[in-house]
Amino acid sequence: MRTKRIIIENGIYHIIQKGVEDREIFLDDEDYKFYLKELKEGLDIYKISLLSYALLKNHLHLLVKIRDKNLSNFMHKINSNYAHYFNDKYFRRGHLFASRYKSILVKDDKYFLSLIKYINLNPFNFGKNSNLKYEWCSYDEIINKKSKLIDLKELENLLYFGYENLIEYIKNKNQIEILDDFEKIDDIKFDEEEIKRKIIKMRENLDEGSIRNFYYALVYFLHNKGMSFRKISSILNLSNSYVFQIYNKSEVMILKDEKFVNWVNRVEKILEEN
* CATH code of the domain covering residue 20: 3.30.70.1290
Quick: pLDDT tens for 21-38: 889 999 999 999 999 999
Residues 6+ apart with CB under 8 A from 210: none
Q: What's the confidence (pLDDT) of residue 177?
A: 46
Residue 165 lies in a domain: yes
Residue 126 pLDDT > 70: no
14 in Cβ contact with 226 (< 8 Å): no
Q: Are residues 213 and 87 in the same domain?
A: no
Q: Are residues 90 and 133 in the same domain?
A: yes
Q: Are residues 94 and 117 in the same domain?
A: yes
Q: Are residues 157 and 194 in the same domain?
A: no
Q: Are residues 139 and 20 in the same domain?
A: yes
Q: What's the confidence (pLDDT) of residue 156?
A: 94
Q: Are residues 131 and 227 in the same domain?
A: no
Which one has a higher pLDDT value, 272 or 70? 70
Residue 69 lies in a domain: yes
Residue 79 pLDDT > 90: yes
Q: What's the confidence (pLDDT) of residue 50?
A: 98
Handedness of CA 64, 68, 73, 77 (dihedral sign): negative
Residue 30 lies in a domain: yes
Encoded amino acid at 230, one letter? R
Parallel, antiparallel or unpaired: strands 49-55 and 12-18? unpaired
Q: Are residues 99 and 203 in the same domain?
A: no
User: Which residues span the domain enclosing 127?
Assistant: 12-185
Q: What's the confidence (pLDDT) of residue 139?
A: 94
Q: Are residues 169 and 233 in the same domain?
A: no
Domain end, chosen from 169, 185, 201, is at: 185
Q: Are residues 76 and 165 in the same domain?
A: yes
Which conformational region is residue 146 in: left (phi greater than 0), alpha (psi within -120 to 50 degrees), or beta? beta
Residue 120 lies in a domain: yes
**Model confidence at 254, in pLDDT bands (50, 70, 90)?**
confident
Q: Are residues 74 and 147 in the same domain?
A: yes
Residue 167 lies in a domain: yes
64 in Cβ contact with 15 (< 8 Å): yes
Section 59-85 average pLDDT: 93
Q: What's the confidence (pLDDT) of residue 183?
A: 43
Q: Are residues 44 and 128 in the same domain?
A: yes
Domain end, chosen from 138, 156, 185, is at: 185
Q: Are residues 28 and 113 in the same domain?
A: yes
Residue 4 lies in a domain: no
Across the chain, mean pLDDT equals 83
Could you give the number of structural domains in the chain? 2
Residue 1 lies in a domain: no
Task: Print the SS3 string covering 193-208.
Answer: HHHHHHHHHHHCCCCH
**Model confidence at 259, in pLDDT bands (50, 70, 90)?**
confident
Domain end, chosen from 142, 163, 185, is at: 185
Which one has a higher pLDDT value, 259 or 99? 259
Q: What's the confidence (pLDDT) of residue 130?
A: 53
Residue 6 lies in a domain: no
